Structure 1
Amino acid sequence: MDTSLHYLLMAAHSLFQKKVFSGLSDLGPGQPKILDYLGLHDGSVQRQIAQGCQIDPATLTGLLSRMEEKQLIERRTEGGDRRSFHVYLTPLGWKKQREVMDVFQECEEQICGGLSAPQMDALKETLISLCRNMTDLEVLQ
């Protein structure tokens, strides 16, 4: 196995996604992340969801349309502002969101089972730093 950082990050991401989607075969790519986000931020506008999920706004529009077709979300205008839609989970969406959270929890327990609490804290801090660095680089470009 290649031990370069880029390879390890890509491999970890790919393996995690395979594990998540094996438990959520009825959802498409990006949808679990959106359900996770809306579980904490129900009623967000699309711009907030795109930023919170690190998804391109144009890609998000398509994802939300497919989720709306599956009756997982609904988009509503608020305060008479027709330029921005607020996105809400439907009852079916809340049910699926709980399933997503259960799968995430199960995956985390399985893949991090051998790590101590200090190792988990260090891993989370490292990942937060990497995300901040990449966000800062993106803003600078």
Structure 2
Amino acid sequence: MKGIEKYISYLINHSGTVLNSAVKKQFAPFNLAPEQSLILAVLKRENGLTQHEIGERLKKDKANITRMADNLEKKGFIQRVRDPNNRRAFNVFITAQGEATYDEVLVIYKKINEEICSRVTAEELSEFKRILGKLTSEK
């Protein structure tokens, strides 16, 4: 292996890009980016969070969350309401359209996950997850 391909950060990034492209292609009919679907997933579990709380859960910065929320609101997937306890904050709620769309794309996520995971044994997958956890944990 020569050049940049020998670095673990490159391999992880490249793998993520390949997988994200596959998901993005499947999500195109829903007018939803894979990253945007993560906000919907968070709101399905905990509706009404502030944008700051969503950012904390997804480990994304404020600007990124604001941009995605703007797009999701324009598409009718979420609604933002000013927080009555903090005029600078917005509580974010998933709409019925957002829930229906998320339910459909979740099926796609599961299908892609099954296809990818079928390429390795259960033991290999468990070991891979364990190693990724070690590589990405803070010291």
Q: TM-score range by the shorter chain?
A: 0.7 to 0.9
The residue that corresponds to 1:116 in the other structure is 121
Unaligned runs of 5+ in 2: none
> Aligned with 2:90: secondary structure?
strand
Identity %: 26
**Runs of 4+, deviation exceeding 6 Å:** none
1:39, distance to aligned residue in structure 2 (A) = 2.1
Contact 2:48 2:93 in 1 (8 A): yes
> Aligned with 1:44: secondary structure?
coil
Alignment partner of 1:62 is 2:70: no
User: Which aligned pairs between 1:55-94 and structure 2 lie closer than 5 A?
Assistant: 55-94=60-99
Q: Which amino acid aligns with 2:136?
A: C
> Aligned with 1:24: secondary structure?
helix
Task: Kindly provide the CA deviation profile for residues 59-114 of structure 1, in whole angstroms up to 9, marking residues without a partner as x.
Answer: 21111011101110011234443232111110000011112211211111111102
So what's the TM-score if we normalise by structure 1?
0.83
1:129, distance to aligned residue in structure 2 (A) = 2.7
Bigger shift: residues 84-93 or 52-61 = 52-61
Which one of the candidate residues 10, 24, 45 is aligned to 1:7? 10
The residue that corresponds to 2:25 in the other structure is 22
Contact 1:35 1:100 in 2 (8 A): no
The residue that corresponds to 1:44 in the other structure is 49
Q: Which amino acid aligns with 2:8?
A: L
Cα root mean square deviation, aligned: 1.9
